Amino acid sequence: MSWSATVFTLYPDMFPGPLGTSLSGDALARNIWSLEARNIREHGLGRHRTVDDSPAGGGPGMVIRADVLAAALDAGLGADDLRPRLLMSPRGKPLTQARVRELAAGPGVAIVCGRFEGVDERVIEGRALEEVSIGDYILSGGEMAALVVLDACVRLLPGVMGKEASGTDESFENNLLEYPHYTRPREWEGRAIPDILLSGDHAKIARWRHEESLRITRARRPDLLP
Ligand code: SAH
């Protein structure tokens, strides 16, 4: 069984979107993973398929109704569905590479995309949704955040990335940012590739890269270091 994603959204046309191209698109075509985008509006109320209403207590904007979203979730997820149920939300736990690895190692994921001011708190509790944020800024909807989560997971699925080695050395994997990369030409606009990288001494190169990783992490993201 392949890794499967089910996305609950008011804009199913946004999927697979960019995930239909490149590595993730190839992997989708090869059935390494599957994606179902379900329209919350199919469970909307009345002739206009209403999904939202004004916030209790007043204030601007609209809130997605608990009953409508729950009906969409219950129709889309079986009782025996073991996939984590994420709600994209700026209030959520910030997404980390460690969480991405866990999600990629599991059966897949169900993702709810908010819109407007968000969703009624009771459906978060009642359907045990795990709020996940992709960073401290506000998007207009959860769809792009869901695409980010899926992209990060799918590239880790076995057979998606070209080289198995690729991915273990990257930023965040050892609580370090990555060392600098260079490729041909050897000199460009008066800038040379560091000699050590052309020395052929693999132990020295590994040491240099580790030191560069440390230097860059200290300068840019000291919070990552233990
Ligand atoms: N009123 C909310 C923001 C709503 S933004 C607040 O102040 O917290 C509309 C929707 O976009 C959210 O329901 C969520 O699904 C999505 N969204 C916005 N920013 C996000 C972020 N940083 N990470 C994940 N999802 C986000």
CA of 35 to the centre of ligand 1 (A): 22
Task: For the chain, 226 residues long, give each residue's pLDDT as a single digit of tens.
Answer: 799 999 999 999 999 999 999 999 999 999 999 999 999 999 999 999 999 999 999 999 999 999 999 999 999 999 999 999 999 999 999 999 999 999 999 999 999 999 999 999 999 999 999 999 999 999 999 999 999 999 999 999 999 998 655 566 788 988 999 999 999 999 999 999 999 999 999 999 999 999 999 999 999 999 999 9
CATH number at residue 184: 1.10.1270.20
Closest ligand 1 atom to Cα of 91: 8
Tell whether 100 and 194 lie within a shared domain: no
Tell whether 56 and 131 lie within a shared domain: yes
Tell whether 90 and 31 lie within a shared domain: yes
Residue 109 in any domain: the answer is yes
Last residue of a domain, one of 96, 123, 154: 154
Using DSSP's 3-state secondary structure scheme, residue 23 falls into: helix
Last residue of a domain, one of 107, 128, 154: 154
CA of 206 to the centre of ligand 1 (A): 41
CA of 90 to the centre of ligand 1 (A): 5
Q: What is the pLDDT of residue 50?
A: 98
- Contact criterion met (CB below 8 Å) for 40 and 72: yes
CA of 46 to the centre of ligand 1 (A): 27
Q: For residues 185 and 193, what is the distance between their CA atoms, to the nearest angstrom? A: 8
CATH number at residue 146: 3.40.1280.10
Of 134, 140, 152, 153, the residue nearest 91 (C-alpha)? 134
CA of 183 to the centre of ligand 1 (A): 39
Last residue of a domain, one of 111, 128, 154: 154
Query: 192: exposed, middle or buried (C-beta count within 10 Å: 0-12, 13-18, 19+)?
Result: exposed
- Which residue range(s) make up the domain with 204? 169-224
Mutate to test the pocket of ligand 1, among 89, 133, 147 (most ligand atoms within 8 A of CB): 89
Using DSSP's 3-state secondary structure scheme, residue 226 falls into: coil
Residue 11 in any domain: the answer is yes
Tell whether 12 and 107 lie within a shared domain: yes
Q: What is the pLDDT of residue 48?
A: 98
Closest ligand 1 atom to Cα of 119: 13
Query: Which strand (E) or helix (H) includes residue 149?
Result: helix 143-154
Tell whether 211 and 187 lie within a shared domain: yes
CA of 44 to the centre of ligand 1 (A): 21
Look at ligand 1, atom 2, and give the residue with the nearest C-alpha.
117
- Enumerate the H helices of the chain as residue ranges: 22-29, 66-76, 97-105, 121-126, 143-154, 202-220
Q: What is the pLDDT of residue 1?
A: 76
Task: Give the binding-site residues of ligand 1, using a 6 Å CB cut-off.
Answer: 88-91, 113-115, 117-118, 133-135, 137-139, 141-142, 145
Query: 138: exposed, middle or buried (C-beta count within 10 Å: 0-12, 13-18, 19+)?
Result: exposed
Q: What is the pLDDT of residue 225?
A: 96
What is the number of structural domains in the chain? 2
Residue 45 in any domain: the answer is yes
Look at ligand 1, atom 23, and give the residue with the nearest C-alpha.
133
